[in-house]
Structure 1
Amino acid sequence: MKRSILLSIFILFGLLATEKSWSATVKISGKAPEYAMNSIELYTLHDIVSEEKIKLGTFRFSADGLFNLDVEITETTLCLADFDGYHGMIYIEPGKSYQIVFPPKRTLTESQKRNPFAKPEPVWFGILNPSKDELNLKIQQFEQEYAKLENRYFDQIFANQSKSLVDTVNLKLEKEFPKTNSSFFESHKFFRKANLEFALNQGKSAEFMETYFSHSKPMSNLAAYSVIFNQVFMNYFSMLSNAPNSTEIRNRINSANLTKLDDYFQKQLHFNKELSHLVLIKSMNDAYYSKQFSKALILKLLDQMKSPEWSAYEQKTAQLIHSKLTYLTSGTNPPSIILKNLNGQKVNFSDYPNTYIYLHFTDPKNSICRQHLDALKAISARYKEKMVIINVIPEIKGFKNGSGWPGIFTTTDSNTETSYKVKTYPNSFLIGKDGKLLLSPAPNPIDGLDRQLGQLFKSDYFKEMQKQNNPDVK
């Protein structure tokens, strides 16, 4: 008995010591005078499918531009930061310290910030006095050489399906970057080379799948793995369903039985359990947006991942995907935002119970928005007894509604780009009498709003008449 208790204590201490060793502090510091008194959030991604941001900390720059940040991590982690049109990147390793260098400061105009087609410029954070074996330095050097060779040979590899050219590029890379003691860097090289192999047959060969995926666990913390994974398994349900002799997999997908699908991926496709689960999650994410599969079916499959067969991390990933797919969809609650009218008084959706609310994000300084606001006058006059209009505008000093536009004009400090995905103006939503999103998005005033509201209120009228004639009908 004593021996059993002592053994249990030793095991417990061992587990605690192991757990403590898994987590280590990373110290990040530096000086960037251009960024004085600014703050920039540093984050990583929960997984490579949902790409949910996990905040690691915030760089807060002093008046002199000094900054420092301590981050707790358990493994080599890709850290990201979005600022001034940049997409900053750096790998950090547990227990290490980094003095980093920010790119030159630049100021974006409001139109640049709101341009939905503008993509941030990817940049690696610089590191002061790195050793020659520093991970970020090695990866950047490799990427420069890889890009040079890819630009030179890729078209020939893709067009001619030339295995010999792939071998040539791999030999050049191996000569330039021989084997190192860094398993992480070796993995980076391995999966970047997979992109060249992928160009030969789009990953359809059994040999390719065996080499790069079937027998190894996913490396979600490695960007090179993420890139090739998302290429290989893009729209995977569609690819499998459209292949010859695909009746079995189509039936398993349409049966909405997750266990059967997982069994097929592991036994028929020879995926290890972790790969099977990650591919299934990605497949559902992609299938939701295709017209080949029922959205309800995909959501049902995601719900089935709340099972002991799926790890806590996988279940969380599935939950994030489910939330992302259903976000801002009709029938869900509208995101909460703090609104104030032009007198500084709070405006709440709950102030208008059992009433339709037309939530209109607009900018009176924009000529297109003014046309929509003008068109809203006639619509408001027609339906003023049935609908409240809430206009959400940017903070405009001294703004007064001198044009007599309808509705309540409000401003908000909430991030509408995050909450309502508003990247351009105008952008509109219709909240139903039950307080849930009814039209998401809703038509803008000169884009068919009048017709849509007419149909809606006509339907409401007939339902009301039916109730009066037959009280038992709900």
Structure 2
Amino acid sequence: MVKLRFLIVSYFLLISFTSLAGRVVFKGDIPDYAGHKLEFLTYSDQITFTERLLCSAIVDSTGKFDCSFETDETIYVFAHLGVYEAFIFVEPDKEYILLFPEKKDKSTADRLNPYFEPELYHLGVENSSDNELNYLLAWFNHEYTKMFEANAYLIYIKSSAFNALTEINKVDSIFKNIDNPFFNDYKTYTFAAFLHISNHQKSRSISDSYYLKNKVLYNNKAYMQLFNQVYDKFFGYFGRTENGEKIYSDIGKLKSITALKNTLGSDEILKNDTLKELVILKCLHDEFYDDKISRSAMLIVLDSLALQTKIAEHKIIAENIRKKVTRLMVGFEPPYFELLDKDSNMVSLQKYRGKYVYLGFCVSLSYACIQEFEMLRKLYERQHQNFEIVIISMDDNLAQMKNFIEKKDYPFTFLYYGNQSEVFKEFDIRAVPTYYFIDKEGKLALSPAATPGENIEYYIFNVMRKNGDI
């Protein structure tokens, strides 16, 4: 009877959950993209900006495609389309016939540039209407940008003739009858950002007015953009107060999430427990890149928060932070990849488990890489019995890489990045060549590693000696 009751309850919970989620359908007719694989993504969270795949589709020979996914709320969706980050805001239970920009691929220089910023492109919706969310947001952003640009100089010189509220009211009057909740929240936090940037309200005032007593809007882009501005470097700001000095010992010495929450809670600005946790998550994420606090201590605090929190979104953010900050740390596994070799075989790091791997990132047309390939040839001849050499190459296409390798007859492994182009970003490649050394357990031992011309054998042998392998 108990088992039956459990099954009935589980069934109704499942029905309730699935009824909350609505299917979103994307369709389009884009002949320029025929044969192209489209991937529609969203951000798993807007602190780490971890990308999450929603659906994908291959554009057929006539230019048609469709794909679908489920969501229980309005979310920001985007696709990497060459030089563009094409985006759209989608609502549950809706079909969108999408209008794309003219196809424009990245140049080799763009692909190699770690600081490349895509051009934002708001996708058109063929089956739109005057009250459709994307139409409203595009219209609002146009009016807001026009107002901002008209007042930018007055804001810059802090003119007494400028009145932020008057300018906001002018734009707001155009949209006062819109009853879409997502749109109105977006508008509210965009205006709040304007008050912040124009110095009409300081960070503490913005926090009190817009965050302390309000619901957290994890998927509203305007809410989270302002959140990231208002609470930027909050540990540093709070740490200068009398009570705030404790936060560094709470993390670095005590390694206690409870102590940290108690210290932060002594200020009225973070009396809201949900907001407090979110601010802690943001600050832990940011502090990993400042090297002011022990990273191992921060990981312990982060893991404790993930275990204690009752908020599902915060567990996800904590997990994303951990993955992001440890992905290139010594002692942790590097980002996963599965790439094509010159013979079109799929090769992953898993293949090399049980072996040491000297992993490099290069471009066959780069003079610096070509020079080091010759050094790698000699290194391979001397040491191939001790470790593998694997090069991930960013060439224009697989055939170009294959022709280069066969012409030069290199004995070590080359992999083509093309089917997983984000691999360069995931390994934080800011210049080529760049190297890492991976141990037999598949964990980073040198991150980054020295180049072949920087006596890499000395460092590799130190690792192998420490592990008892020589």
TM-score class, shorter: 0.7 to 0.9
Deviation at 1:137, TM superposition (A): 1.0
* 2:191 aligned residue: 193
Letter in 1 for 2:444: L
TM-score normalised by structure 1 residue count: 0.84
CA contact (8 A) 2:244 2:264 kept: no
* 1:472 aligned residue: none
1:423/1:83 Cα in 2 relative to 1: closer, same or farther (>3 Å)? Answer: farther
TM-score normalised by structure 2 residue count: 0.84
Matched, 1:429 2:428: no
* 2:296 aligned residue: 296
CA contact (8 A) 2:327 2:333 kept: no
The match for 1:147 among 142, 145, 148 is: 145
Letter in 1 for 2:259: K
* 2:403 aligned residue: 398
Provide the rounded CA distance (Å) in 1 between the counterparts of 2:435 and 2:216.
40
Provide the rounded CA distance (Å) in 2 between the counterparts of 1:43 and 1:356.
35
CA contact (8 A) 1:238 1:292 kept: no
1:47/1:335 Cα in 2 relative to 1: closer, same or farther (>3 Å)? Answer: closer
* 2:446 aligned residue: 439
* 2:371 aligned residue: 371
Root mean square deviation, CA, Å = 3.6
1:178/1:299 Cα in 2 relative to 1: closer, same or farther (>3 Å)? Answer: same
SS in 2 for 1:441: strand
* 2:68 aligned residue: 70
CA contact (8 A) 2:336 2:348 kept: no
CA contact (8 A) 1:179 1:186 kept: no
Provide the rounded CA distance (Å) in 2 between the counterparts of 1:44 and 1:340.
27
* 1:247 aligned residue: 245
Deviation at 1:186, TM superposition (A): 1.1
CA contact (8 A) 1:302 1:318 kept: yes
Letter in 2 for 1:213: Y
Provide the rounded CA distance (Å) in 1 between the counterparts of 2:92 and 2:138.
20
SS in 2 for 1:277: helix
* 1:454 aligned residue: 458
Q: Which shifted more, 336-345 or 418-427?
A: 336-345
CA offset digits 1:47-76 (Å, max 9, x no partner): 111222222212432222122233321111
* 1:135 aligned residue: 133
Letter in 1 for 2:436: F
* 2:104 aligned residue: 106
* 1:88 aligned residue: 86
Deviation at 1:307, TM superposition (A): 2.9
Deviation at 1:136, TM superposition (A): 0.9
* 2:262 aligned residue: 263
1:161/1:336 Cα in 2 relative to 1: closer, same or farther (>3 Å)? Answer: same
* 1:25 aligned residue: 23
SS in 1 for 2:205: helix
1:202/1:288 Cα in 2 relative to 1: closer, same or farther (>3 Å)? Answer: farther
Structure 1, unpaired ranges of 5+: 468-474
SS in 2 for 1:289: coil
CA contact (8 A) 2:337 2:349 kept: no
Letter in 1 for 2:403: G
Provide the rounded CA distance (Å) in 1 between the counterparts of 2:466 and 2:264.
50
Aligned pairs (5 A) from 1:405-420: 407-409=412-414, 411=416, 415=420, 417-418=422-423, 420=427
Deviation at 1:348, TM superposition (A): 7.6
CA contact (8 A) 2:243 2:263 kept: no
SS in 2 for 1:118: coil
Q: Which shifted more, 61-70 or 279-288?
A: 61-70
1:97/1:443 Cα in 2 relative to 1: closer, same or farther (>3 Å)? Answer: same
Aligned pair count? 458
Provide the rounded CA distance (Å) in 1 between the counterparts of 2:466 and 2:284.
39
Structure 2, unpaired ranges of 5+: none
